[in-house]
Structure 1
Amino acid sequence: MTAGPTFSPERLAGLRSGTLSEVRAALAGLPREDLAAWLATPDGEDVLRSAFERMPERYTGGLTDGPQTARWEVARPPADTVAYDLVLTEDTCDVRETGNSGAPAVTLTLDAVSFVEMASAAAQGMDLLLGGRLHIQGDVRLAMRMESLFGLAEPGEPG
């Protein structure tokens, strides 16, 4: 596997920050192909895994229909897919390796760039879905609530 593109230290710091506004700033003007190539590197994989690890901090809660598992499959060709299960309850979000939480209620599949855009509120899930970059299998209602459950309902919000 190649090393991928080289980014400035400022852009790398923004991508790694986990702060929505800093990630969005790092994405500004970055060609999609360059970001996709970088996300297929070990450094890019670390950023994706960190995004999942931060999800419990961003979880706003409110899911009242009992525990629900949402599986995320983030494609990074030619590298391996990054996949996690989020077990959601009224108050908690538990991030687990896939296969350790039973059958998911919903599976969301998307490319790594689209995941970063959605996770930083740079793009809306509905736009990704309509553009064919997000695929949903299972409980569509739960999938449609993901952004609001993680405080990502509107792009441009502080954070």
Structure 2
Amino acid sequence: MTAEPTFPPELLAGLRSGDLADIRAVLAGLPRQELAAWLATPEGGDVLRSAFERMPERYTGGLTGPAQTARWEVSRSPADTVAYDLVLAGDTCDVRETGISGEPAVTLALDAVGFVEMASASVQGMDLLLGGRLHIRGDVQLAMRMEALFGLAEPGESG
């Protein structure tokens, strides 16, 4: 059995902070494999869950029509997948356990490092998609708007 990876307190504080610039700085200094191993720990799972809990704060709104559910499936091998449904409406984002909101309009599946990279705007979703690290099932147009809906699109992108 291998030991769980440990990081200096300042790196952990950056990952937990919710501040996009702090998270990007941590990502720039960590080898991907080490981060993936840490995200598979219980502490890493807590950070991922916290990222989902913060999503309503980052939601910029703008969807028209009925609420739509976007399911996120974040794999953390060998640990369990972290999955949440985001119910998105005009100006609200409700984070829910999967399965209680009916079938999702779109499902986005990616590895934990890819999720952290996308959620911190250090890597664009299109790059993850083209690299085979992001998989989309369902409403691709809604998936392509996710970054813009959460204020993560690159400057000049309308989403």
TM > 0.5: yes
Structure 2 residue 97 is matched with structure 1 residue 92 = no
- Correspondence list, 1:105-124, <5 A: 105-124=105-124
Q: Name the residue aligned to 2:55.
A: 55
Q: Name the residue aligned to 1:76.
A: 76
Q: Name the residue aligned to 2:146.
A: 146
User: How much identity, in percent, do the aligned residues show?
Assistant: 82
> Does the Cα contact within 8 Å between 1:2 and 1:41 map onto a contact in 2?
no
Question: Matches of 1:81 and 1:97 in 2, distance apart?
Answer: 13
Question: Matches of 2:39 and 2:29 in 1, distance apart?
Answer: 16
Question: Matches of 1:147 and 1:4 in 2, distance apart?
Answer: 32
Q: Which amino acid aligns with 2:48?
A: L
Question: Matches of 2:129 and 2:96 in 1, distance apart?
Answer: 24
Q: Name the residue aligned to 1:132.
A: 132
Query: Aligned to 1:121, what secondary structure does the other structure show?
Result: coil
| Aligned residue pairs, count | 155
Deviation at 1:6, TM superposition (A): 1.2
Question: Matches of 1:116 and 1:2 in 2, distance apart?
Answer: 24
Question: Matches of 1:42 and 1:3 in 2, distance apart?
Answer: 13
- RMSD of the alignment, in Å? 1.1
Q: Which amino acid aligns with 1:66?
A: P
Structure 2 residue 29 is matched with structure 1 residue 33 = no
Q: Which runs of 5+ in 2 are unaligned?
A: none
